Amino acid sequence: MNGSPVLEAHGLVKLFGRVVGLDAVDMTLYSGEILAVIGDNGAGKSTLIKCLSGATIPDRGTILLDGKEVRFRNPQDARDAGIETVYQQLAVAPALDIAENLFLAREIRHKGFLGKVLRMIDTGEMKRESTEQIKSLGISTLQNITQAVETLSGGQRQAVAVARAAAFGSKVVILDEPTAALGVRETAQVLKLIRDLRASGKAIILISHDMPHVFELADRIHIQRLGARAAVITPKTHTMEDAVAIMTGARPGQVEADAQYPERKVASPESKS
Amino acid sequence: MKSKGFPVTISTDSAASATVEEFLSRPPSIGQRVHSVLHRYPALSPAIVLILAVVAFSLTSSRFYQLTNLSLVFQQVAVVGTLAAGQTLIILTAGIDLAIGAVMVLSSLVMVKLASHNGWPGVPALIIGAAIALLAETITGLLVTRIKLPPFIVTLGMLSIFTAISLIYAQGQTILLNPGAFLLWTGTSFSIGSLHLTYGVLLMLGLYAVFAYALRYTAWGRHLYAVGDDAEAARLAGIRVNRVLLSAYVVAGFAIAVAAWILVGRVGGGDPNSGLNANLESITAVVIGGTSLFGGRGVVIGSLIGALIVQVFDNGLALAGLDPNYQVLAVGILVIVAVSVDQWIRSVKA
């Protein structure tokens, strides 16, 4: 875990007409950590994530990737910069196989005449790299790389989506409600996958409504309330009740865990922010 | 109190789920195997139908399986077969083109009229005629992608528009070209033994080869499937959906242009009333060929098989001395069977 943040946001503001989507939100993310973003509906979770993944352009504020300012005009920009997003609605092509899905929109072409003139894609190479990728992530549920994605279970499909995001040298992986549509068993598989991703040194942002999952996985928890960052806490120092209290405004939060990370100083929920 | 969470560890693989494991790992039933094979090879079921039809008609008439007769089937299928190749691209994107035949007729009329009335040489006449088809499909594609109109409605309008333009442009007359004109090359036949094919048939087969290659082995082809399957997922994966959609219509326009040239060769000129049924016949061929109307599933070669099935029924019933209306009946049944099979393939998980 290194000391300087991989992704930072400073003073992000996003207005939708007269509705305040984001109210000067700061955020920091370090490699090798899972930062959970929680909040009630309309608290600005999705808007924050969309700004970071290029799906929305913030009205004000800056985003720094590895300390350098970046401006994303679309999701492809963010992806090129190394920020991958796994969306709640599974962004996979059901009729294509696992290898084709991993390489969707970044197919490898053959070298030489076949690729340059006939624009032939190198399915063998794509299969080889996909197998490697899936093996390195330890996804044991995906056996046959040429299996059509629609023949997979929900958990396996999510594993494909996560593998896709984790591949290709990405630094930051954003997971939007990755287990919302899954059963217990499949959820467990995906949670394990998320841990493995962290172990591989990637920085992960996890958006979830599921408090137990959040408290089990997250290193730090960023709480959004009414468009602003209400607090950053850690599962070590706060309970789920504390988190819910801050989320709902029953108790004021504070952002100490953010500033003190990675030392993880104990932050008292009672003190004023 | 520190509630360290309801334990969500991976403890679900307990003895309770062992029975589920066993249930999941039991060998697949025959139905599941058939399903999984059909799922993998969408052109398989139409291919079986075609083979059965050929065998059945060969038994009823000794003339059917003669190479001269089979050559005739291929010559008759060339126009609709070529159109069906273009229609396949559009249907793979979950679209439909009801005007594909009308555009072809206008394109062919432009070719013929430029060559005969305006005295143009064949090649530029062909190019301008082809440009009309490309332009028409580009407009359709732009209306679908930019103004987000449903393809069904856009092409329904286009059908009327292009049918009317053709009739006005040709003033309702058939124009014949002088024998030996360049534009009639597609109707020129050559023989390999007792197999008599036209160059139009070769053009069609060449087009199928190119389309099959592009769909299977290029990123563009894979993107076409992804967009037809789930456009939103494709967009989130980083595919420029509108660009892919538009390209499907433009490339279909190219197939229409080739079909128009083959039509000129078959008619011997330009006829505004030719190809009236080609709009629906091309869709019939695609559907019988195993391509899903919901997009994202199917292979282009299936559409050739579909077109051949229709033609084989037509030819075979005529040779058997049966009422040709049975062909219409048979094709109707085949369409419904094909769509039912598609529904089954798409529904169950393999």
Domain positions in chain B: 43-343
Q: Do B236 and A95 touch (CB under 8 A)?
A: no
* Chain A residues touching B223 at Cβ < 8 A: 104-105
Domain boundaries, chain A: 7-90+151-260
pLDDT (tens, 9 = 90+) of chain B, 350 residues, equals: 444 444 433 334 444 455 665 665 667 778 778 877 887 788 888 999 899 999 999 998 888 888 889 999 999 999 999 999 999 999 999 999 999 999 999 999 999 999 988 888 889 999 999 999 999 999 999 999 999 999 999 999 999 999 999 999 998 889 888 888 889 999 888 988 888 899 999 999 999 999 999 999 999 999 999 999 888 888 888 888 999 999 999 999 999 999 999 999 999 989 988 877 899 999 999 999 999 999 988 999 999 999 999 999 888 888 888 887 888 888 899 889 888 888 887 775 44
As a whole number of angstroms, the distance between CA B201 and CA B183 comes to 15
Q: Do A105 and B239 touch (CB under 8 A)?
A: yes
* ipTM computed for the complex: 0.74
Q: Do B4 and A87 touch (CB under 8 A)?
A: no
Is the domain covering B43-343 a CATH 2.60.310 domain? no
- 3-class secondary-structure state, position B94: coil
Q: Do A79 and B238 touch (CB under 8 A)?
A: yes
pLDDT (tens, 9 = 90+) of chain A, 273 residues, equals: 457 899 999 999 999 888 888 999 999 999 899 999 999 888 888 889 989 988 889 999 999 999 899 999 888 888 889 998 887 766 788 888 888 888 888 888 888 888 888 888 888 888 888 888 888 777 767 778 888 888 887 778 888 888 888 877 688 999 988 887 777 877 888 888 888 888 888 899 999 888 998 999 999 999 999 888 988 999 998 889 889 889 888 887 766 555 444 443 334 444 444
pLDDT at position A263 is 42
Architecture of the domain delimited by A7-90+151-260: 3-Layer(aba) Sandwich (3.40)
Nearest residue in chain A measured CA to CA from B235: A91
As a whole number of angstroms, the distance between CA B190 and CA B108 comes to 23
* Chain B residues touching A123 at Cβ < 8 A: 217
Q: Do A119 and B219 touch (CB under 8 A)?
A: yes
Nearest residue in chain B measured CA to CA from A87: B236
The C-alpha R_g of chain B, in whole angstroms, comes to 24
Task: Return the residue in A76, A196, A215, A241 with the most chain B beta carbons within 10 A, the one to mutate for interface testing.
Answer: A215
Q: Closest CB to B236: pick one of A87, A189, A215.
A: A87
Beta-sheet pairing, A203-207 with A172-176: parallel
Q: Closest CB to A213: pick one of B8, B222, B225.
A: B8
Phi-psi map region of A201: left, alpha, beta (phi>0 left; psi -120 to 50 alpha)? left
Q: Do B39 and A107 touch (CB under 8 A)?
A: no
pTM to 2 decimals? 0.82
How many residue contacts between A and B have a Cβ separation below 8 Å?
Answer: 111
Q: Do A239 and B1 touch (CB under 8 A)?
A: yes
Q: Do A239 and B239 touch (CB under 8 A)?
A: no
As a whole number of angstroms, the distance between CA A86 and CA B114 comes to 55
